[in-house]
Amino acid sequence: MNNTEACNTEPPPSGTRINERFDVVIIGAGLAGCTAARLFGLQDLRVALVEHHADVDAFKQLCTHFIQASATATLRHLGLAPLIEDAGGLRNGVDIWTRYGWTGDLAPLDENGEPVFGYNIQRRTLDPILRRLTTNTPGVTSLLGCGVRALVKQDGVVSGVDLGGDRTGVVSAPLIVAADGRSSPLATLAGIKPASSENCRFGAIRAYRGVALRRGNCSQMWLRGPEVGYVFPNDHGITVIAYMATKDKLDGFRANPGEALERSMAGFPDAPDLTSAEPLGNALLVKDYPNLWRRPAVGNIAFVGDALMSIDPLWGVGCGFAFQTAEWLVDALTPALRQERAIAPALHSYAKRVSRELNGHRSLIVDFARRRGLNAIERLNFSAAAKDAAAARHLHAFGARLIGPAKFLSPGALLRAAWVDLRRPAARSAQPDAPV
């Protein structure tokens, strides 16, 4: 586009028909969609942001509200990090318990030796902040309350979408971005099916007010055989409690998920006492959550966030990867869009980066989703992390997705973990007889 063109970012009045061409059309105004829209807008590109929710304050409910440290750079590029802190979001770390003991809340360090962190913040707080930040970005036209009725094609290539809802008409662009969640209606319309694999666990999640933690104020995680527990402190004194287990335990949760959640959490060492905490709403029971992922780009449709990859929430990577994949797309596509060049090579570059950055993480997460406990290498790393600060920081760097599997499982790292495991005494918080 000509950068001197005036950019009309005011959405057309409700009920009017729109027929306009943009540089990018993005379907879905969640974390990934808003991130892509704002970053494209900051590059002087014209963006149509289509969202079926009409309410700017709409938010995603099924979430751990844990943003990995790997996404913090993206939050800063967006200008979102200070807004999160102003809204009460907490800089996060995590302390993990296995039968080998607690790893400790030891943050990974950057090249300057400074701790690296992500954020804990409720989606009811985060989503409206990001959506307003995005819709106020020059170049972004927000089309809230609109859904995609059909794809528009030109010469066999998707060139736009036909809208229904508060506004009707066609918005077109050389790049169409699917940021519309794991079910991705846009992918369904385009006939693009996800790959999938089994997740052997179910989950229960509930928010509480007034939870007294027994180990500082950081996030906490328990890995005990087939059981996984979580505590996520959030903004405004709200703490999210979650529990996962293999599906043979699901029947015990069907009648009263909240009571079963509290009973199960009470069995973990150093777990918070929830008897005096105030539950906020009903417990959400997730009975089945298979791993899904799609190709990063098909034709001129690119996938970001959960529409790209929605896998086992046990590791809390969804929010972080949503922010990051959106930024990778913007980095790859902006030069071609600004210069009005063919976008296929840029989409290929985006797909290569997604493969390079995420395939290893996905492979390990998908593998663990089929298992009932830790494998031998995981046992070695968690045992060393419970005994040694450097091993713990290395483990947390991988858990925060600051390093990939190749570095985490490098021969040097494994040899050092083995040395620690053999030479150091067991941690005082260890329970050798607990399931692993």
* Ramachandran assignment for 375, one of left (phi > 0), alpha (psi -120 to 50 degrees), beta (any other): beta
With cut-offs at 50, 70 and 90, classify the pLDDT of residue 288.
very high
Q: Are residues 299 and 392 in the same domain?
A: no
State the Cα–Cα distance between residues 276 and 436, nearest whole angstrom.
Answer: 31
Which range of residues forms the domain containing residue 405? Answer: 376-423
- Is the same domain home to 216 and 252? yes
Q: Does 136 lie in the same domain as 53?
A: yes
State how far the Cα of 421 lies from the Cα of 274, in Å rounded to an integer: 35
Tell me the per-residue pLDDT of 61-118, one tens digit each, with 9 for 90 and over: 888 899 999 999 999 999 999 999 999 999 999 999 999 999 999 999 988 899 999 9
**Within this chain, do residues 183 and 210 fall inside the same structural domain, yes or no?**
no
300 lies in the same domain as 386: no
Quick one: which of 127, 130, 117, 129 has its CA closest to 63? 127
Domain check: are 220 and 318 in the same one? no
139, 51: one domain: yes
Q: Tokens 């406990």 correspond to what residue?
A: 373
Q: What is the DSSP string of 97-126?
A: EETTEE------B-TTS-B--EEE--HHHH
Q: What is the CATH number of the domain that holds 335?
A: 3.50.50.60
Domain co-membership, 304 together with 188: yes
Asked whether residue 393 is domain-assigned, the answer is yes
**Sign of torsion over alpha carbons 242, 247, 248, 252:** positive
Check residue 335 and give its pLDDT. 98
Number of structural domains found in the chain: 3
In a domain, 277, yes or no: yes
- Which among 259, 286, 313 is the end of a domain? 286
The percent of residues above 90 in pLDDT, for the chain, comes to 92
- Note whether 48 and 183 are same-domain residues: yes
Same domain, 279 and 296: no
Is residue 357 situated within a structural domain?
yes
This model's pTM is above 0.85: yes
In a domain, 116, yes or no: no
pLDDT tens across 313-363, in order? Answer: 999 999 999 999 999 999 999 999 999 999 999 999 999 999 999 999 999
Domain of 232: which CATH number? 3.30.9.100
Q: Which of 168, 190, 195, 140 is nearest to 310 (CA)?
A: 195
Domain identity same for 315 and 393: no
> 297 and 280 in one domain?
no
